[in-house]
Structure 1
Amino acid sequence: METEPQLPPPPTPLPLKDPIPSSSPAFATPAPPPPNRQPRQLTRTLPLTTTAAPRPNVLPILLPPPTLRPHAVRILTKKHGLNVQTSALTALATFIGRHCGTGWREEGLGEQVLEEVARMWKRQSGDVIVRDEEGGPATLKGILKTLEGGMVGGRVVSGGGGLSRQGSLVGQGSGQLDGGGGGGGGRGRIGERQSSFGMSKLEVEDEEDESRDPRAWMKVIGAFEQPRLVYNVGKKHFEHIQTPPSLFPPPSHKTAFFRNRYNLIHARLLRNESFQPPTLQTQPRHSLSRSDSSLSQNYTITPIANLLGRSGSSHLLLGLLTRSPTGGLLLTDLTGGIGLSLQHAQPTVGIDGAWFCPGMIVLVDGIYEEDSQGYGAGSSASGTLGDIGGVGGTIGGRFVAFSIAHPPAERRNSSLGVPDTMDAAQGAHGGFGWTDFLGLGSERAVGSRMRKMQQLVYETQAPHAGNNKIVVLGEIELDVPRSLQALRKILGMYAELNVSQMPVSIVVLGNFVRHAALAGGASSGSIEYKECFDALASVLAEYPQLLRNTTFVFVPGDNDPWASAFSAGAATPVPRQAVPDIFTSRVRRVFAEANREGDRGKDAKTTEGQVVWASNPVRISLFGPTEEIVFFRDDTSGRLRRTCINFETKDEETEGPTQRVQSEANDELASGVPQGEEAMDTDSSHENINPTFQDSLSSSVVAARKLVRTILDQSHLSPFPLSTRPVLWDYSSSLHLYPLPSTLVLADSEAPPFALTYEGCHAMNPGKMVRDGKGKTAGWIEYNIMERKGEVKEIAL
């Protein structure tokens, strides 16, 4: 009988630096503590680089730098504004080929690495050139070494290697580098310098757990709280202004104010198809006339400085209309200025199509004539855009204009890169979708998720499905008894509705008194002004149920303090602060009492009623970047009529220049609508107006379209000289209308009430709340959030 062979005993293991043996069951060896040594306690989680979990294998490849260059240009240069040296591009190609393998293109692994490299380089360095060399605050070698420790299977993951989930773009496959814990790298949100490309501050976690009350998704953004952005011409994107704002800034900020307006309109114009060169080489056209428009037509803008030596040639200019010291008109851009003759000029949209005033940036088509004939504004003119641009002054000669037009507006979806037929799950493409204009998140980051949330809130089975109205009241003069009577009637009508049918918000726009408060009059003191708001509080206290379920927003006018104390009712600088708290304490107390009496035990997620004293202008955001509503209280139409340039009709013989300042309102709006009217309707549709029934339109409709077209084409709430409408230079970015808002409320007491749509932006004017006509009536605007359409309503007093 054969015996089994005896296996030799296992060899004695060599002594290790750490005497603790393995405790794995595969080796069947226990793990007793070593003699005279206490077991070590792991007090923190080991980083990803020390874990024993197996990593997916990546097959390295040899990635040529020219193959990676288009991706680096798109991510690093176009998106983040960085330039890459050839040596740095070679290092990136080697790193991506080694750690991402064949999935660098198909799975988008290479773009994730480029995203992380750009974010960490901008956080640590601040230089616009990515170099593969030592000596700076950040080195590409150090960044790639940090990324290498945080990559698994070719993907950049969080939890180790210096990577942090905070601030990463969830769903986009990219994280954010925390910069080693220095310089604010541990913040949970994206830093100040990169807040334009981050997640929203709304912090959406789970749709099922979020509030279904639409007021919980409504944010009131004041003009002094809005991000201060400036358009960078070189990088072709918006940047945050790093200098702290001031009410008394240096004169250079005034230069930046006008230059930014011009650069923004010029960049928007170059995005228009009519100003893009065609694929096939054709003869460029300069005329703005509609008679010769064609699909192959393209326009070319000539800088004013390039007119020298080209007498008798036709050009298309883009510049700022200004007044010279001698009273003539000047057209200025960043290269210089030139005297402008409008004797033969006609607006392309007709005389009743738009306003043209000094302070506006316009397109002018005409012929340049040298100074040999004795024309020209002279080189002594100062204050032109060319002077403040630092290139040149006013050149000799004159520019004889044949046609003049406003720069065409750009739709909001085109500016943000959102297709018109986009569903809720589709993201933004192109445009400025990554820019956070309101400080609540960019369209690319949170737009699709916010649209899903909007559908959940307003679906038919939601408790707040009918709560989709915003009520807008304009020019409520609290020192007039009839105003309080009209307010009682309007609020009483909405207070009788069910809680689910009450409006989301009621926006009340000034002026809150008829005469300028604190201006030295007998009945304009601080005590009298506070008594007006005490009377308002007495009216609001009669409707506690409405106060508990609605957000009230109060926007001041020019007659409200403190600005009215020194302006005496004249135009005050914009933007302007809210009504001071010293006058509104009684109103706030009424809201607090109404919320205290209400029982919210069964509906804990319902937002309490609140009152917001806002600035002028103010923006209301609904569901992040999905809906943006701008409210501006100003008598814009009257200022346009007083300062506009009149054009002679074609059948009228004239002598000499026809441009002049209109000192009082005229009745030219009664002549009808021009035959070339575009894409402006009194409802929410975007179809062109049929010219056959334009003559039957009332003068109020013509005036409304003329006002809306002018403001939206200029993309600015105050396109006037600073002598006409003062502007706080450091806060001028809050007056820009780019991208166009979803809805614009121009509270103008001198214009008739209207609600119409132009280029996808719904514009409204509530007018005066108490209207004098055939009978005493109270009027307001009721805005439907889901339909994005306003309706003018009236009720008899």
Structure 2
Amino acid sequence: MMESDPVPSSSPGFGTPAHSLRKSRPNALPTKTSILPILLPPSTLRPVAFRTFTRKHNLTISSSALQALSTFVGKNCGSGWREDGLAERVLDEVAKSWKKAGGGVIVDEGKGASLRAILHTMESNMSGGRVVSGKHTSTDEAPSITTNTAQGSKYSKKEPPSPTLVPPEDRNITGDLDVNLHPRHWIRVVDAFDMPRLTYNADKKYFEVARSKPTLFPPSSHKSTLFRDRYNVVHQRLLRHESFHSSSGPSSGISRQYSSSATNQGYRLTPIANLLGRNGTSHLILGLLSISPTGDLTLSDLSGSIALDLRHARMVPENGAWLAPGMFVLVDGIYEEENIRGSTLGGNSGVGGAIGGIFVGVSICGPPCERRETSLGLNSQQTGREVSSSGGLGWIDFLGVGSERARGPRMRQIEAQYLRGMHKGTKFGRRPRVAIMSEVNLDNMRILDALRKIFSNYNDLRLEERPIVFVLIGNFVQKAIINSSGQVGSIEYKEYFDALSLTLSEFPALLQHSTFVFVPGDNDPWSSAFSSGAASIVPRHAISELFTSRVKRAFAMANTNLDSTQSSEPPGEAIWTSNPSRLSLFGPVHDIAIFRDDISNRLRRSAVGFSDDTNLTVAENMKVTAKETGVPETSEQPGSNLASTTLFARKLVKSILDQGNMSPFPLASRPVLWDYVSSLQLYPLPTALILADPEALPFCITYEGCHVINPGKLVPEGELSHVRWVEYDVLKNRGKVKHERF
């Protein structure tokens, strides 16, 4: 009776105890204690929020988010938010939920994860100002993957790819489930038009997603935004260089003997507008090389422009890179007002226009490159490359495959476990390799014989030794696709790919166990119909499905004989992607950029010439760490053809990577779609760059941790029975030039 009595008597006459004898249920939740809400000002909560979000979780909280949190804490924690430590515990749970949802480093509504949704979920699970453990619902979702065969991208059906959210197909993969997946499950081909459209916010020093809808006919303001963003990215990257730190001297940057602007506090940049009234003084300027309407070489930054005299300037390092209009350069020199030319180039208009006088350059160089680990805030000395607390852009998802902080550690664990299983021979013992072929001119019958030789070599190997990805890069025809007399038309172009499908059908084992990626060139449809073989607009779309149906049918026929129940390996597929595009493996761990362009010829035509100076030394931090694979190092003797080829490759690589952009040219020489310019960005540096330039000889060179590969022409001119391509080892981040006769 006493157990069923809700309020037992405590009278001594009945001999009952002073407390209730109810039996508590083991799974019962604690009674929800009522909290008297208070009005908590954001300024009062700011110290606790700074200690929890910034110091503990390396997050930055905005003013609007602080206002929302102060309202939430005041309502749900009441007067005990400080004395009982309730606020700090609640804020800690909010920070963990924000990071788990893949939010950015700046906690703000609308930037990545939803703070409002996190607070709404947490409020229903609070009791007495505390979050009830075990009741907090997970935001993980079941995977729902669909394959976009046109672009080769895999995204969830429930939500589109977001630049700051973890792709939902990987959210619920925990434990050993993702480890047991075949490594080809982690391959993503990202089309240039599917990449996040990021713009750099100079005030917040952070990348933001462009909110405007992309279009092929944007307003004219987007054109100026294009170069402003490029300048801001290079500028913030330059200021993080050790040569511009006050704690380090200039000896580690540009050689002191060639810089008159060096001080004991490091280098300092001078805006062009600040040159007015400072005649005869030395300055270091970061600006954009350009040609004025009068034909003079000018230097421009966000504050103005000035005429540039490089007749006596010397490059650092000597002959180390090409510097052409459209590139950003560092110029150390002297400002002269109203010099002997007498031209003011628009008058002394000051800020916003061209200023009078001329800037006489003494030394010039490109902005020093920054390693990928530095840009992302990775500590390469630690195991697993954990993200350090020193800053960086680790929270930004540049490709739509997950950010370094959100997915990098887990993906590296999966890669490490896969490697251990591969060495033991118990799991997919297939080392990730990529076979890269460029200038695959299908209208040349010798090309099909060369491809048949390459595929035959790999088909004779064991499955463990075959590449998991084959990259075929255009131009797929030698002449532009134009429906006119004497030119190749659409019917002939389709027949060329039909012939390729017959060649591929001879090797069903490769089609079943590999991914084939096709990247177009300037001569491929449909842009070539308007450019007539000239430089077309980039990025450019993938080749239309009108021409690729037979190739896809060959893969479908090969996969019908594949027993998918015996292996977790996905079937082989053909992916037609844009130019440029990205190939990702294990999320953000391996990022391979692919770009087809005749870039070396364009650089040599438009580069600025300098006087030779054999006594000019190379600054230590500007040296290129290069390795020519496939050729003995002892054969690189001064004056030999091999040495000149290697120097040419180093010069080409340094020219591109220092600019952080695949197309650092004026829009007149290389047109660019203004709203998709972020797809051309090489910041942070990818792990590898496939720079398919058929006019340059094949090479494999590493510069600042980025491995640059040029496969050259598949069949060199004058060598009709010789085929060459590059085999790239993803895990070693090294490529090797392969040669065969057929």
Q: TM-score normalised by the shorter chain: which range applies?
A: 0.7 to 0.9
- For residue 469 of structure 1, what is the amino acid of its counterpart? R
Measured in 2, the distance between the counterparts of 1:378 and 1:11 equals: 94
1:506 to 451, 462, 470: 470
- Give the direction of change, closer, same or farther, for the CA distance of 1:472–1:124 in structure 2 (3 Å limit): closer
Alignment pair present for 1:301 and 2:269: yes
Q: Is the 8 A contact 2:347 2:356 kept in 1?
A: no
Measured in 1, the distance between the counterparts of 2:612 and 2:182 equals: 55
**Shift in Å, 1:276:** 2.2
Deviations 1:642-674 (A, max 9, x none): 11111011489xxxxxxxxxxxxxxxxxx9999
Deviations 1:25-54 (A, max 9, x none): 95599xxxxxxxxxxxxxxxxxxxx97336
1:555 to 497, 519, 543: 519
2:362 to 390, 402, 406: 402
Alignment pair present for 1:414 and 2:374: yes
Q: Is the 8 A contact 1:310 1:368 kept in 2?
A: yes
Alignment pair present for 1:770 and 2:715: yes
2:16 maps to none
Q: Is the 8 A contact 1:76 1:114 kept in 2?
A: no
Measured in 1, the distance between the counterparts of 2:66 and 2:431 equals: 58
**Shift in Å, 1:212:** 3.5
- For residue 312 of structure 1, what is the amino acid of its counterpart? G
Measured in 2, the distance between the counterparts of 1:679 and 1:104 equals: 54
Alignment pair present for 1:98 and 2:73: no
Measured in 1, the distance between the counterparts of 2:343 and 2:73 equals: 58
**Shift in Å, 1:501:** 2.1
2:14 maps to none
**Shift in Å, 1:139:** 12
1:591 maps to 555
**Shift in Å, 1:222:** 0.4
- For residue 217 of structure 1, what is the amino acid of its counterpart? W
Residue identity (%): 43
2:282 maps to 314
Q: 3-state DSSP class of the match of 1:698?
A: helix
- For residue 622 of structure 1, what is the amino acid of its counterpart? L
Q: Is the 8 A contact 2:245 2:266 kept in 1?
A: yes
**Shift in Å, 1:590:** 0.5
Measured in 2, the distance between the counterparts of 1:592 and 1:308 equals: 68
2:330 maps to 363
Q: 3-state DSSP class of the match of 1:467?
A: coil
Deviations 1:308-344 (A, max 9, x none): 1111111111111110011111111111110111011
- Give the direction of change, closer, same or farther, for the CA distance of 1:87–1:720 in structure 2 (3 Å limit): closer
- Give the direction of change, closer, same or farther, for the CA distance of 1:245–1:693 in structure 2 (3 Å limit): same
Compare CA radii of gyration and give the structure with the larger one: 1
**Shift in Å, 1:124:** 9.5
1:341 maps to 309
**Shift in Å, 1:680:** 1.7
- Give the direction of change, closer, same or farther, for the CA distance of 1:577–1:528 in structure 2 (3 Å limit): same
Q: Is the 8 A contact 2:368 2:622 kept in 1?
A: no
Alignment pair present for 1:470 and 2:437: no
1:754 maps to 699
1:648 maps to 611
- Give the direction of change, closer, same or farther, for the CA distance of 1:108–1:716 in structure 2 (3 Å limit): farther
- Give the direction of change, closer, same or farther, for the CA distance of 1:56–1:711 in structure 2 (3 Å limit): farther
Measured in 1, the distance between the counterparts of 2:510 and 2:157 equals: 37
Task: After TM superposition, list the pairs within 5 Å mapping 1:631-670 onto structure 2.
Answer: 631-650=594-613
Measured in 1, the distance between the counterparts of 2:111 and 2:517 equals: 43
Measured in 1, the distance between the counterparts of 2:73 and 2:638 equals: 62
2:538 maps to 574
Q: 3-state DSSP class of the match of 1:497?
A: coil
1:4 maps to none
Measured in 1, the distance between the counterparts of 2:329 and 2:574 equals: 41
TM score, norm. by length of structure 2:
0.83
- For residue 439 of structure 1, what is the amino acid of its counterpart? G
Alignment pair present for 1:269 and 2:238: yes
- For residue 607 of structure 1, what is the amino acid of its counterpart? P
1:458 maps to 419
2:353 to 368, 378, 393: 393
Alignment pair present for 1:289 and 2:289: no
Q: Is the 8 A contact 1:425 1:449 kept in 2?
A: no
Measured in 2, the distance between the counterparts of 1:433 and 1:355 equals: 31
**Shift in Å, 1:296:** 5.6
- For residue 205 of structure 1, what is the amino acid of its counterpart? I
Q: 3-state DSSP class of the match of 1:621?
A: strand
**Shift in Å, 1:291:** 4.0
2:125 maps to 150
Q: 3-state DSSP class of the match of 1:535?
A: helix
Measured in 1, the distance between the counterparts of 2:157 and 2:720 equals: 59
Measured in 2, the distance between the counterparts of 1:250 and 1:405 equals: 34
TM score, norm. by length of structure 1:
0.77
Q: 3-state DSSP class of the match of 1:196?
A: coil
- Give the direction of change, closer, same or farther, for the CA distance of 1:409–1:651 in structure 2 (3 Å limit): closer
- Give the direction of change, closer, same or farther, for the CA distance of 1:197–1:301 in structure 2 (3 Å limit): farther
**Shift in Å, 1:759:** 0.2
Measured in 2, the distance between the counterparts of 1:480 and 1:707 equals: 29
Greater CA drift, 320-329 or 200-209: 200-209
- Give the direction of change, closer, same or farther, for the CA distance of 1:450–1:152 in structure 2 (3 Å limit): farther
Measured in 1, the distance between the counterparts of 2:316 and 2:201 equals: 31
Deviations 1:62-92 (A, max 9, x none): 9975743643783899845613799889878
Q: 3-state DSSP class of the match of 2:488?
A: coil
Give the CA RMSD over aligned residues. 4.3
- For residue 324 of structure 1, what is the amino acid of its counterpart? S
Q: 3-state DSSP class of the match of 2:588?
A: helix
Measured in 2, the distance between the counterparts of 1:595 and 1:145 equals: 47
2:593 maps to 630
Measured in 2, the distance between the counterparts of 1:728 and 1:381 equals: 34
Q: 3-state DSSP class of the match of 2:649?
A: helix
**Shift in Å, 1:376:** 4.0
Measured in 2, the distance between the counterparts of 1:463 and 1:77 equals: 37
Q: Is the 8 A contact 2:317 2:617 kept in 1?
A: no
Measured in 2, the distance between the counterparts of 1:378 and 1:489 equals: 60
Q: Is the 8 A contact 1:679 1:758 kept in 2?
A: yes
**Shift in Å, 1:167:** 6.5
1:165 maps to 138
Task: After TM superposition, list the pairs within 5 Å mapping 1:27-42 onto structure 2.
Answer: 27=22
Q: 3-state DSSP class of the match of 2:401?
A: coil
Deviations 1:119-141 (A, max 9, x none): 8999996699xxxxxxxxx999x
1:449 to 400, 410, 414: 410
**Shift in Å, 1:379:** 0.8
**Shift in Å, 1:458:** 2.9
- Give the direction of change, closer, same or farther, for the CA distance of 1:81–1:565 in structure 2 (3 Å limit): farther
**Shift in Å, 1:242:** 1.0
Q: Is the 8 A contact 2:89 2:130 kept in 1?
A: no
**Shift in Å, 1:679:** 3.7
Alignment pair present for 1:205 and 2:173: yes
Deviations 1:391-416 (A, max 9, x none): 51111111001111111111111111
Deviations 1:618-646 (A, max 9, x none): 10100000000001000100100111111
Task: After TM superposition, list the pairs within 5 Å mapping 1:14-93 onto structure 2.
Answer: 27=22, 52-53=29-30, 67-68=47-48, 70-71=50-51, 74=54, 79-80=59-60, 82-83=62-63
- For residue 397 of structure 2, what is the amino acid of its counterpart? D
2:584 maps to 621
Alignment pair present for 1:726 and 2:671: yes
Q: 3-state DSSP class of the match of 2:701?
A: strand
The number of aligned residues is 690
Q: Is the 8 A contact 1:200 1:445 kept in 2?
A: no
- For residue 464 of structure 1, what is the amino acid of its counterpart? F
1:235 maps to 204
Greater CA drift, 515-524 or 145-154: 145-154
Q: 3-state DSSP class of the match of 1:335?
A: coil
1:424 maps to 384
Q: Is the 8 A contact 2:306 2:356 kept in 1?
A: yes
- Give the direction of change, closer, same or farther, for the CA distance of 1:583–1:393 in structure 2 (3 Å limit): same
Q: 3-state DSSP class of the match of 1:413?
A: helix
1:789 to 729, 734, 737: 734
Deviations 1:201-221 (A, max 9, x none): 533513522344211110000
